[in-house]
Copies of this chain bind each other. A is one copy, B any other.
Amino acid sequence: MNDVHPGIRPLAFLVGTWRGDGAGDYPTIEPFSYDEEIVVDHVGKPFLRSLQRTREATAGTPLHTETGYWRWTGIRPELVIAQPTGVVEVLTGELKGTTLRLRSVLVGTTPTAKEVATTERRIVVEDDVMRYRFSMAAVGREHGLHLEAELRRS
């Protein structure tokens, strides 16, 4: 694989295969736990590709998946995501050290998808450990925590 393109180097700390587990909750659902894999890679161009997959912690059946691309404006991170739940997200935010804080500037849904109004993603990387918190306002509820996970780079 080529070197990481200089135009995306500030986010190069995300590159890798990350595995771990997380917990989810929301006012409209039962709390649940999951196993997760996130692969962040690149093709030598000024963006990173991300593919995330979660499975039930016990049965191992596929739960959520999403895929998208990281960009770097020179100052800010940008993230675009597509989800098979019929949701797309455009996020922008700040990078401080290796802590990312992103907020949706746009969430779009297909006509038959569940409504998602806003999302927020906080990602902290320390060496080979990634911790994230994902919160959202969805299905008419106020913005609140939905997912929290800790992963390790393998």
Contacts and interface: CB of A to CB of B under 8 A. Distances in A.
Interface of A: 43-45, 47, 49, 62, 65, 67-69, 71, 73, 76, 78, 80-84, 86-90, 92, 105-106, 108-113
A88 B110 CA distance: 12
Contacts of A92: 110-111
Contacts of A82: 67-69, 80-82, 88
A52 to B, nearest CB: 12
Contacts of A108: 80, 88, 90, 106, 108
Contacts of A110: 71, 78, 80, 90, 92, 105
> So how many copies of this chain end up in the complex?
2
A48 to B, nearest CB: 8
Given A45-B62, A78-B112, A111-B105, A71 B90 contact: no
A81 B82 CA distance: 6
A43 B62 CA distance: 8
Given A62-B44, A67-B67, A88 B86 contact: no
A64 B114 CA distance: 30
B81 A86 contact: no
Nearest to A109: B90
Contacts of A47: 84
Contacts of A73: 111-112
